[in-house]
Amino acid sequence: KPLKDCTVVFVLGGPGAGKGTQCANLVKDYGFIHLSAGDLLRAEQNRPGSEYGDMIRDYIKNGLIVPQEVTIALLRNAMVEAIKQGKPRRFLIDGFPRKMDQALTFEQQVCKAKFVLFFDCPEDVMLNRLLKRGETSGRDDDNVTSIKKRFETFRNTSMPVIDYYALQDKVVTIKSDQPPQKVYEDVKASIEPRIK
């Protein structure tokens, strides 16, 4: 059954658009709980005894979308856990949904999204950021081959999700090829009226 009285904001944008960076700012100022689908998948991948570890590693390296059952279960569990701990029921769901089936299932089974925060950034800028980060991140997908695959999946599979929400007037678009502080000012200005 859906979770009660939850506020969910989907945070979307291409690989390296700055989703994680801006979510960290929002957590500080607005007390959201930040759940990155990618972080949850990487944690599951490394959890001893996980039956999904090898599959997740393979999907992430190839920039493909892990089957929705796995990701939605991880998100739902994390939300339930936060609620159990008595935390405020306000969630930034980062990097999800990135395929239409995930969007429909999550909204039906877990919680409807209040709106979508979409970080719009040119691919050449994202590529440079990810290659730079790849020098130290240790992420299996921060190499040029994986990054190109991630871009392709984003264009073909994830952009339609943003288009779907745009048709419902639920998308707040922020240009994220600007300095992080400037991006955050734009974020605050556009979301304040929506989260009051």
Could you say whether residue 52 binds ligand UP5 (CB under 6 A)?
A: no
Instruction: Compute the Cα dihedral for 187, 133, 37, 39 and give only its sign.
Output: negative
User: Binding to ligand UP5 by residue 134, rule CB under 6 A?
Assistant: no
Percent of the chain as helix, strand, coil, to the nearest 5: 55, 15, 30
Ligand-binding annotation for 108, yes or no, is: no
Q: Shortest Cβ distance from residue 102 to ligand UP5 (Å)?
A: 6
Q: Minimum distance between the CB of residue 169 and Mg ion, rounded to whole angstroms? A: 26
Decide: is 20 part of the binding site for Mg ion (CB under 5 A): yes
Place of tokens 């960076």: 21
Give the one residue of 9, 26, 63, 113 binding ligand UP5; rule: CB under 6 A. 63
Residue 185 phi, psi (nearest 5): -60, -45
Shortest spacing between CB 196 and ligand UP5, in angstroms: 26
Q: What is the dihedral of CA 19, 36, 172, 61, to 10 degrees?
A: 60
Those residues whose C-beta lies under 8 Å from the C-beta of residue 28, and which sit 6 or more positions away, are none
Is 22 known to sit in a ligand binding site?
no
Q: Quick one: which of 32, 33, 38, 162 contacts ligand UP5 (CB under 6 A)?
A: 38
Give 82's Cβ-side CA count (13 Å radius).
20
Nearer to Mg ion, 128 or 168 (CB): 128
Binding interface with Mg ion (CB under 5 A): 19-20
Binding interface with ligand UP5 (CB under 6 A): 13, 15-21, 36-38, 41, 59-60, 63-66, 71, 95-96, 98, 129, 133, 141, 150, 176, 179-180, 183
